[in-house]
Amino acid sequence: MNVNKVAILGAGNGGITAAADLKGKGFQVSLYEMPQFASNLRAIELKKGILLQDSSGETFYEIDVVTTDIEVAIQGAEIVMLTVPGFAIESFAELLAPVVSETQVILLNGAGAMGCVRFVKKANELGIHKAFKIAETNSLTYGTRAFPEEARAELSLRVKKLFLAAYPEKNTTELLEICSQVYDCFVPAENIWHTTLENGNPEVHPGPSLLNAGRIDFSEGDFWLYREGITEHTVKIIKAIERERMEIGKAFGFQLENAVQSRARRGYFNNEEEDLQTLFNTSEVFTQIKGPVSVNSRYFTEDISNGLVLWSDLGKVTGVPTPNIDSVIILGGSILEQDFYEEGLTLKKLGFDGFDVQQLIESV
């Protein structure tokens, strides 16, 4: 399959950036947003495109289609790419599953959270039993911030390496070849358990953000996690959760990348030799990212509910103790007055309740 058109669903940081970047690469591009969030498209529609700012300067790209009509958005697209947060997967499945064809590739481009399984499960619940061509990455293909009201994106990094896995795993080679026409950073993952455990956000965001909750409250929006929140002490919670994640990965037979390796190989750090705190504090990409601006941000909510809760469940199945992961889940829940174990992503909700490790591997 030759890729000529990409439909991008979700007009947030990733989607707006991808629309401009892929147009700049010569692809036909459509950009879709749900009708209730149509305000994200207004400036782009008015200006008929997006201003992309990166290290080479700034370029304005006209976008072929900007729409809140899902059928219009995906018409003629070889790849339908979702750049949406984990909590939105089921909502987009309800919209997309009925209209997408079995020949179109669905690419979930964002933080890995078993999105493929969740998409197909929701489709099946709706009575839709298509042979979806669907794959997901472990993280977003960009380090970026977008400003919908200005039809503008500030792109600080085109990621150099990301893991990609299809669901089921037997389709990974085929879909990797197709998706690599759009992004040359993809390498094959073992399966989507692998991409999920290579999602770095649950490891880095909730713990240090939790330890900085008072500072976040006091700053009233003027907080920079990577510049000021990653210190000689808060970095220790990252390393503690890293150890638990790595042990879970070993139980699955994966050789996971650690926090330094993953970010250096993606391009966020310029080496793998310096200590983790220094690398975060001096990263040309991370130090430009502001936030979280409140304890209700996705650094707490999404990364605990869609990340750490599932890792905790995997720890129970693999026999790996997860005291640090569990502590962040519990304390985060106390601060936000939420029961993340009840609300979050679990094996039971994925349809894998009672599975052992081998059964989990065989299921994807």
The model's pLDDT over 8-34, given as tens digits with 9 standing for 90+, comes to 999 999 999 999 999 999 999 999 999
* Residue 208 pLDDT level (bands cut at 50, 70, 90): very high
Which sign, positive or negative, has the C-alpha torsion 207, 210, 215, 221? positive
Q: What fold is seen in the domain 201-355?
A: N-(1-d-carboxylethyl)-l-norvaline Dehydrogenase; domain 2 (1.10.1040)
What is the b/e burial string over 22-47, where b = at least 16 CB atoms within 10 angstroms of the residue's CB? bbeeebbbbbbbbeeeeebbebbeeb
Give how far the C-alpha of residue 183 lies from the chain's centroid of Cα atoms, to the nearest Å. 16
Give, in degrees to the nearest 5, the angle at Cα 74 between 72 and 79: 165
Fold for the domain defined by 5-197: Rossmann fold (3.40.50)
Distances (CA, A) of 185 to 25, 137, 160, 290, 350: 14, 11, 5, 26, 28
Q: Distance (Å, rounded) from C-alpha 40 to C-alpha 29?
A: 17
Q: Give the tens place of pLDDT for each residue, 106-132.
A: 999 998 999 999 999 999 999 999 999
Q: Are 182 and 6 in contact (CB under 8 A)?
A: yes
Asked if 44 contacts 50 with a C-beta cutoff of 8 angstroms, the reply is yes
Q: Are 111 and 310 in contact (CB under 8 A)?
A: no
* pLDDT range class, residue 5, cuts 50, 70, 90: very high
Between CA 163 and CA 176 the distance in angstroms is 10
Please tell me the distance from the alpha carbon of residue 213 to that of residue 332, in angstroms, as a whole number: 10
Phi, psi of 230 (to 5 degrees): -95, 100
* Per-residue pLDDT reduced to its tens digit, 319-339: 999 999 999 999 999 999 999
**Residue with structure tokens 């072929």?**
64
Burial of 200 (0-12, 13-18, 19+ CB in 10 A): buried
Residue 188 in tokens: 């094959």
Helix ranges (H only) for the chain are 13-24, 39-47, 70-74, 89-96, 115-125, 172-179, 192-197, 201-204, 206-211, 213-219, 235-252, 259-266, 276-282, 301-303, 309-318, 323-336, 340-343, 347-350, 357-362
Judge whether 352 and 361 are in contact, CB under 8 Å: no
Using DSSP's 3-state secondary structure scheme, residue 201 falls into helix
Report pLDDT for 126. 97
- What pLDDT digit, counting tens, does each position of 134-162 carry? 999 999 999 999 999 999 999 999 999 99
CA-to-CA separations, 321 to 59, 162, 256, 352, in angstroms, rounded: 50, 28, 18, 20
Q: What percent of the chain has pLDDT over 90?
A: 97
What pTM was computed for the model? Answer: 0.95
Q: What is the mean pLDDT of residues 171-198?
A: 98
Report d(CA 326, CA 3) in Å as an integer. Answer: 43
Residues recorded for the chain: 364
Mean pLDDT rounded to a whole number for the chain = 96
Domain ranges of the chain: 5-197, 201-355
Which residues, other chains included, contact 340 with Cβ-Cβ below 8 Å and sequence gap of 6+? 304, 305, 308, 309, 329, 332, 333
Distance from C-alpha of 91 to C-alpha of 106, rounded to nearest angstrom: 15
Structure tokens at 339: 């029961």
Euclidean distance between CA atoms 266 and 117, whole angstroms: 25
